[in-house]
Amino acid sequence: MKKRLRVLLVAVLLVIALMPMSAKKTYAQNLPTSGNCGTLLDDVYGSNATFTYASDTGVLTISGSGEIGSRAFESYTDKAQVKKIIIGEGITAISANAFAGLTGVTEASLPEGLLTIGEMAFYNCFDLDAIEFPDTLEEIETQAFYNDGISELDFPASLKRLNWDAFGAETGYGSITKVIMRSTEIEFAQPTATSYKIPNSLNTAGPIGGDYDYQFAWTTEIPAQAFAYLGVGENRYLTSIILPDTITEIGASAFSGQYNLDSITIPNGLKTIEDYAFYRTGLTEVSLPASVEKIGRQSFNACDNLTKVTIWNADCDIYDVYTNEMTIASQATIAGYEDSTAQVYAEKYDYTFDSLGEEPCSAGGEHDWQLVNHKATFTDNGYQECICSKCGKSDGIAIGALAVTITSLEQNSYVYTGKAITPNVTLANADGVLADNNYTLRYENNLNAGTAKVTITLQGDNFTGRKTLTFKITKAVNPFGAKGKTASVKYKKLKKKNQTLSVSKVMTFTKDAKDTKNYTLVSAKKGSKSFKKYFKINKTTGKVTVVKGLKKGTYKVKIKVKALGNKNYKSSTDMGVTFTVKVK
């Protein structure tokens, strides 16, 4: 029996001797050039994540898959020499305390695919002043970046859970100056640290894209505890927030404890204010629009500076279950309509009540219904609507006149006539052609050649709007016509000098467009003999010059005349004109 025990003991010792040395993580040793990123637990570790370390550059590179183990680098004595952490794709989680105490780290690169950053993962990385989160990140646990120097945070849309004390710090460390929250479905966890602080200078908040310290993507709901844990005690600096008009719900404790938040504009579409939404804030006066249907437990309680809450919904559901949990701070005045839930609540708990009078158009047929006719236009159908003149409520719509969809001119081009051109216009909708009394026409530039306009103005009980159509007026054919006359020249005068005949002496214009003419001498004859050298004609005025030395006789002079046209007439073709000159 003893022999068998000795054999078994030898076998066990042999197995232990053959175990690889890398299966143990030894305390008080420097970072090796490579190793495993398993969890430090009773000196035993194992992980699919491994690391390499370059001591000359201080770069720690993580590769592999799965998670980086808890306290993976805690035991290394020279961990403060690490300057940069590069985590490769495939790593999905950074466990608790994984890089805690790497006090010299100034830069950390996180991979796409990373889902979780665990508790105290980068704790006391004092010089880490910036971090870029991947678009896959879903959770950041408590104190993950505690005492780090990060000042700006841009959270991805994928983030589902955040513990604000992840960015807490002891006095003297860091200050958050900017936050961009892109996630619209996020849970804000209650901090677990008992004395954490978030040093910050976040004064303003509003939608992404605005000039705000804290920018968010929420469009319909402000999540529960959205701002409640952003700072502790004197480290709460939020003074103003702009809520989008589309917000319909403010979650539980959304702004709870923000002592310096002294004013807020509640959007008109808000419906629900959940429990403790503005508990212990610095609000001084609040106006809740008629859209607000519910005010939750202690929503405006413990607001020491609150002087007045105005509730415009006469039937608003105001939490009233436990008398020791007031919904509104006891010193505040409550304003509301007569016989409203606001008045009932105020009188029940001895608040000062400020009456807004009777609720407009309350039940009982007090609406003042008026039939309003919305006229049809060139693009939109008309409709009739019953609207209360007091509150603007609509009580049904009926289709009215249909939109005018057809507008046409008798024709689109005309020839100049010397008179104003007024083409007929046809207007119609789906019901047929419109009668003339439904519109007026005004013509412009419709006399001379060019582009003319007609402006159609809809009128009457059923139509409104204006539209302009254009049409062309083209130049007319030139009406130019002329015939020759007989002119006389005294021989005695001609013997001494040239004689001039005006154009009216030698021809008559039978039709004239009052445009410029062009004159050309063709011939001048007595019988069959040419005397052209004794006649000259001015090209533009048509004056005829008879040259000195011409003998007595009767001469036939032939010319060509062309009318050059003007703004309303085209140019004419050349016209031959023959006139007679008698020298006697």
Residues 6+ apart with CB under 8 A from 574: 520, 560, 561, 562
Q: What strands, in cross-sheet order, belong to the sheet with 285-288?
A: 285-288, 308-311, 333-336, 353-355
pLDDT(275) > 70: yes
From CA 289, how far away is CA 266, in angstroms rounded? 7
| Pairing assessment for the beta strands 439-444 and 450-458 based on DSSP bridges | antiparallel
Cβ atoms of 535 and 567 closer than 8 Å: no
Mean residue pLDDT across the chain: 88
pLDDT per position as a tens digit, 124-169: 999 999 999 999 999 999 999 988 889 899 999 999 999 888 888 7
Distance CA 330, CA 370 (A): 43
Q: Give the per-residue pLDDT at 363.
A: 40
**Residues 406 and 426 sit within 8 Å (Cβ to Cβ):** yes
Q: What CATH code is assigned to 481-583? A: 2.60.40.60
Pairing between β-strand 49-54 and β-strand 59-64 as defined by DSSP bridges: antiparallel
- The candidate with the shortest Cα–Cα distance to 534, out of 498, 505, 507, is 498
Contact yes or no for 269/249 (Cβ under 8 A): no
Residue 175, pLDDT score? 75
pTM of the model: 0.59
Are 458 and 466 in contact, with CB atoms under 8 Å apart?
Answer: yes
Instruction: For tokens 């040419």, name the residue.
Output: 530
The enclosing H or E element of 107 equals strand 107-109
Residue 218 tokens read as: 């929420």
Question: Using 50, 70 and 90 to split pLDDT, how confident is the model at 468?
Answer: very high
Nearest to 248 by CA among 229, 268, 228, 263: 268
Per-residue pLDDT band for 395 (boundaries 50, 70, 90) equals: confident
pLDDT at 244: 93
Q: Kind and range of the H or E element at 63?
A: strand 59-64
Give the total residue count for the chain: 584
Q: Give CA angle at 285 (294, 230), nearest 5°.
A: 75
Q: Do domains 365-474 and 481-583 have the same CATH topology?
A: yes
Distance CA 135, CA 157 (A): 7
Per-residue pLDDT at 122 exceeds 50: yes
Per the model's pLDDT, the better-predicted residue between 506 and 20 turns out to be 506
The CB density around residue 492, as the number of other CB atoms within 10 Å, is 8
Average pLDDT over residues 243-270: 92
385: which strand partners? Answer: 372, 397
Helical spans, DSSP H, in 500-562: 503-506
Average pLDDT over residues 317-334: 90
Note the pLDDT of residue 362. Answer: 53
Q: How far apart are CA 473 and CA 452, in angstroms?
A: 7
DSSP annotation of 166 reads G
CA angle in degrees (0–180, nearest 5) for 546-552-557: 45
Strands 553-563 and 575-583: antiparallel
pLDDT class for 384, splitting at 50, 70, 90? confident
Alpha-helical regions (H) of 298-454:
341-348
Half-sphere exposure of residue 558, counting CA atoms within 13 Å on the CB side?
8
Measure Cα distances from 44 to 21, 47, 61, 71, 351 in Å: 11, 11, 22, 12, 66
3-state helix, strand, coil in the chain (%, to 5): 10, 35, 55
Q: pLDDT tens digit string along 239-249?
A: 889 999 999 99
- Pair 164, 256: CB distance under 8 Å: no
Distance CA 255, CA 222 (A): 9
Average pLDDT over residues 500-528: 93
Q: Which residues contact 169 (CB under 8 A, 6 or more apart)?
A: 146, 147, 148, 196, 197, 198, 199
Token pair for residue 338?
């007569």
Report pLDDT for 272. 97
Residue 32, C-beta contacts closer than 8 angstroms, at least 6 positions apart: 53
Task: Of 55-59, 90-94, 173-177, 579-583, give the lowest mean pLDDT range.
Answer: 173-177
User: What CATH number has the domain spanning 365-474?
Assistant: 2.60.40
Q: Quote the CA–CA distance of 229 and 258 in Å, as a whole number.
A: 9
Least confident of 169-178, 234-243, 373-382: 169-178
- Distance CA(512)–CA(478), nearest Å, equals 8
Beta-carbon count within 10 A of 420 CB: 12
* C-alpha count within 13 angstroms, C-beta hemisphere, residue 324: 0
Domain range annotation of the chain: 365-474, 481-583
Question: Which amino acid type is present at position 42?
Answer: D
Q: Which two tokens stand for residue 15?
A: 């197995």
Q: Which DSSP category does 556 fall into? A: E
